[in-house]
Amino acid sequence: MVIKDFQELISRAKLSKHPVVAVAGFDEEVAGAMKLARRELGAYFKVFDWRAQSGEAHTDGIEISMVESPEQAAFYAAKCVSDGEAALLMKGFVSTSTFLRAVLDKSLTLRTNRLMSHLAIFQLPTYHKLIAVTDGGMVIAPDITQKVQILNNAVLFFEGLGYEQIKVAVLCAEERPNASMPCTTDAANLKTMGDRGQFGKHVIVDGPLAFDLAFSQIAAKVKGVVSEVCGDADILLVPDIEAGNLLGKSFTYVAGGKMAGLVVGARCPVVLPSRADTEENKFYSLAAGLAFAGGAE
């Protein structure tokens, strides 16, 4: 299967068998997204906050429990997922560092031996299906070993959505390996690994590929590049955080794209919203996380 747009993703999220989200700190900025997810997805929220009254609920399906500090809010939200009481974890009104310390707490089960990376999923008016960019938010300058883990994280996510074939474009500034551009040799090595089936027989990896080739079959035809990935990529693996950040924001602000953003690599997807994220994008992030973590029928 292939998911063409966020409406199809929302339909899959509605099938979640465990649509419960643990939230660290009640935040008016995410309250709208929570209420929308409650209404559209049937999601339930367990919020831990140090400023609210115990048992206070801002709306049906949003339960707020009193804790003593931001650190406790982050810990108990993470523990809620660790104990199996929630399928998804979301950052509310706590700092990112406090939140991630709770995710990595060794007394809980969210930590894995995998690298955590950021996955941004976009619906674009100029592309025929959802497309993901990784990693534009966590790993600053990944080496080849980290790129393998980032790619694996993205593949696992798409597998969880039910994809039977996953196409990965490893982006660089040119299409030929060049020793003076390490990202191109990394890309060639990742392609070789993909050809050997190291990411799974259903995963096609190609690179190095310039963005136009990954995004457009017409550009590939003009340049004489033949690849199953060109113009049909599901995942764009970028060389570093700067490239991912710039590409992702260009998709949103220039191309008018809609975005869902998650941190993957823990035992569940983690919704880690930016302060600039819109209510709509936060809702799509919740939908993406629930579609993956909620165990759709």
For residue 184, which phi and psi values (nearest 5 degrees)? -70, -35
In a domain, 2, yes or no: no
Same domain, 272 and 253: no
In a domain, 87, yes or no: yes
Tens digit of pLDDT for each residue in 16-67? Answer: 888 999 999 988 778 889 999 999 999 999 999 998 654 555 567 889 899 9
Same domain, 156 and 251: yes
Give the pLDDT confidence score for residue 53 in this predicted structure.
57
The residue segments making up the domain with residue 214 are 119-258
Statement: residue 168 has pLDDT above 60: yes
Same domain, 90 and 156: no
Same domain, 252 and 138: yes
Q: Side by side, which strands form the sheet with 20-24?
A: 62-66, 44-49, 20-24, 88-91, 270-271, 258-264, 117-123, 131-134, 235-237, 166-171, 203-209
In a domain, 53, yes or no: yes
Same domain, 136 and 236: yes
Closest CA relative to residue 296, chosen from 73, 12, 10, 61: 12
In a domain, 189, yes or no: yes
Same domain, 130 and 247: yes
Tens digit of pLDDT for each residue in 227-265? Answer: 999 999 999 999 999 999 999 999 999 999 999 999 999
- Number of structural domains in the chain: 2
Same domain, 136 and 92: no
Same domain, 142 and 92: no
Same domain, 106 and 209: no
Tens digit of pLDDT for each residue in 128-145? Answer: 999 999 999 999 999 999
Give the pLDDT confidence score for residue 296 in this predicted structure.
47
Rounded to 5 degrees, what angle do the CA atoms 197, 199, 205 make?
A: 80
In a domain, 138, yes or no: yes
In a domain, 1, yes or no: no
Give the pLDDT confidence score for residue 278 in this predicted structure.
87
CATH label of the domain that carries residue 45 = 3.40.718.10
Same domain, 158 and 243: yes
In a domain, 216, yes or no: yes
Does pTM top 0.75 for this prediction? yes
Same domain, 90 and 125: no
Is residue 208 within 8 Å of residue 246, measured between CB atoms?
Answer: no
Same domain, 250 and 123: yes
